[in-house]
Structures are given as structure tokens and as C-alpha cells.
Structure 1
Amino acid sequence: MSGRTASIAAQTARAGCEDGARARLERIARLFDSRWRIPGTGIRFGADAALNLLPGFGLVAAKGVSAYLIWEARRLGVPTGTLLRMIGNVGVDALISAVPVAGWVGDVFYRANLRNMALLREHLDRQGHPPR
């Protein structure tokens, strides 16, 4: 293979990896923020809200998954400013979740993981990696 062909092959392989990571992270974000719908309403909730019904453990587990999404975004080359915005989204979500009862309701409406995935999608699209 010539140098140019090898470079194109490497870019294609990297784009395929990014597409796979993107799809996996999208599934995780939807599972944690909007997987289920309350019957008779348009209100959706995910594992994040459900886990927060378990005092202490639920908050740590849900925010651990959010931290994983940010770590993957960093691995995919998201700039520091965007990573800080993502961390801020998770911080606001953690503050909301820390309030008993009211925090559980707030968790249904403040979807930090979906917000962070929107930031990641925006970054990847700017880099020329739209979804396939």
C-alpha cells in the first residue's frame, strides 16, 4: 500500500471506531435518561432517575456512568472547553439528584447524559464524522 492509501485506510478505520463508540454511548445515554415512558403521558425517564431511588448507591452509580461518557468523549478528542461543559451538566444533575424526593422528580426532567451526547455529536459532526 502506498502512504496515501494507508492513511486513508487508517482514517476509515478510525471513523468506524468512532461510529461504534458513538452508537454505544448514544444507547447508554438513552438508557440512563429516557428509556421508559410513563403511560398516558409524554414523560420519559431512565435508569438515572430509577437508581436515585436508592439513597447513596444510586447517585454514585448513575454519576459513575455519566463520568464514563465524559471519559469516552475525551478519548474521542472532545476539546477541554466542551468537556468542562459536560462536567458542569453532570454536576448540576448531581446537585438536583442529591435533594430527596424533589431530586427524583428533577432527575426525570434534567437529562445530563442526553445533553452531553448532543455536545459529543456536535463535536464529531464538526470533525467530519456524521453518523452513518
Structure 2
Amino acid sequence: MSGQLFNMVAKRVLKDTAKKNINSKDPYFEEVAVYGRDGRPTGRVKKQKKGIPRILSQHDGKVLKKVRRQAYRLDMSLFNCCGIRFGWSSVIGIIPIVGDVIDLLLAYRVVLSCCHIDGGLPESLKYRMFFNIMLDFGIGLVPFVGDVADAIYRANTRNAWLLEEYLIKKAEAEQQLREEKERANNRTHGQRPPLARGEGPGANGEPVPKKSFWSSWSRGRDSSQHGQETGIVDVEQGTWRPPQYSEHGAAHAGRA
């Protein structure tokens, strides 16, 4: 079982390496173009610390920033030789055996920092990170050539990029889930509950059909004509006045 798991993780790591060279990217700094006062690019670039993706939570952002800094110090912080960046990991690894063990412990410390994110690391991602540092440890055991290969492989930088990709995917999934819940709540509060049987304005709790404008208008006109033809009853005097007709034939109440 452990052998199958190791093979699966190894294939996944090799697939990531073939897909994109994540160990060549600086995990802590980025290069940005420099613009002049007229707003046009000058052709120069400057290095600045990478920003934390806004979609991440405050705690996960702090963990990612710490892991980036640790990976940069171990893999790229010291000097550049023949296009290869060297950090403390390569320098410590020059010491036979002891230096490689110390390098392994420092890389393990980076993985432990990754585990402090909200919810912890999934087991599959944790195994991939462990595979990276163990492969880096095995390469570093070869004298001198192993140290150069160690500087090229950069296990800590790989793990920092794996953590960043996982955090972004997790934050996007959580945001999508929150949006779906909000839409569901809006639909729930926006609908009226169905009427119970016998509670509605209809006879059996059924809604009364809507009345058209013409039916209401004709009914109001009929009642008006009926009142004009029957005259007006004076309640206070107890008398009835017959309707009087004008020259146009329209009925109106007589004056007392």
C-alpha cells in the first residue's frame, strides 16, 4: 500500500514539473515594470515583495507570506552563479551528511508552517511536499554535484508554490459556496408561503380570480345609473326626491 502511494505521489510531482517549471519562480519577490512620469514604460524593471491574493483569509495570507520568506531564504537568498540562485540550503548542504540532515530539518520546518493554514493541509498535498524534501535530501547526498542539483531542484520553492495554488483553489471554492447559500436564502425569503386550505379569500382557500378593468367599470356605471334613476332618499327629512332629467336626457337629483 505504501509503495503504491509513493508511486502515485511521484507521478504527480513529475507531472507538475513537466507542466510548468514552478521551481524557477521566485516565491517571495516579483519583477514589475517601471513607468516614467508620462506613464510610458521605461524598459526597466524593479523587484518588490509579492502581494498576498485578496481572496485569501487573513490567517492563510500570513501563513503563505511566512512560507514564501522561508523558501526564499533557503533556496535563493544568497548569490547567483551561472544563472543559478543559491540559498542557505545549498551552502549548508556542502557539509557531508550533517549538512544534508540539517537541510532536511529546515525543509521539514517549511512543511510544518504550511500545515498551520485554516483546516490544515490535505494528506495528498502533504505527501507531495514530503516527497519533494526527501528527493531533495537524496540528491544532496552526492558530493558537490548533489549540492548544485539541490540548488536547481529547490524543494522549498516547489512546496511554497504548491501551498499558494491550494489556498487559492480553496478560497475560490469557499466563496462560490457562500454565493450559492446567499442565492438560496434570497429565493427562500422572496417567496410567500402557500395558503392553507380555507384561509384564502376564496371559498376553499383558493385565490380569487383577478377582475378585469372593463368588468369593474361597467359595474360601477350600472350602479351609478341605478342611483340616478331611483332618485335620492333624504334620511334626515324622511322624504324621497324623484330624479330630474336635463335636456340631454341625463338624470340628476331634484332640489328640495
Gap runs ≥5 in structure 2:
1-55, 173-256
- For residue 65 of structure 1, what is the aligned residue in structure 2? 106
User: Which secondary structure does the structure 1 equivalent of 2:112 belong to?
Assistant: helix
- Larger relative strand fraction: 2
TM-score, length basis structure 1: 0.79
Q: 1:75 Cα shift?
A: 2.7
Q: 1:15 Cα shift?
A: 2.3
Query: Counterparts in 2 of 1:15-54, with a 5 A limit?
Result: 15-38=57-80, 41-54=82-95
Of 117, 123, 142, the residue aligned with 1:99 is: 142
TM-score, length basis structure 2: 0.42
- For residue 116 of structure 2, what is the aligned residue in structure 1? 75
- What is the aligned residue count? 115
Larger Rg: 2
- For residue 209 of structure 2, what is the aligned residue in structure 1? none
Q: 1:28 Cα shift?
A: 0.6
4+ runs of 1 displaced by more than 4 Å?
Answer: none
**1:31-70 Cα shifts (integer Å, max 9, x gaps):** 101113325x422111100001122322122111111111
Q: Over aligned residues, Cα RMSD in angstroms?
A: 1.7
- For residue 7 of structure 1, what is the aligned residue in structure 2? none
Gap runs ≥5 in structure 1:
1-13
- For residue 88 of structure 1, what is the aligned residue in structure 2? 131
**1:94-124 Cα shifts (integer Å, max 9, x gaps):** 0000111211111111100000011100111
Q: Which has the higher contact order (CA 8 A, sep 6+)?
A: 1
Tell me the distance in 2 between the aligned counterparts of 1:72 and 1:24. Answer: 8
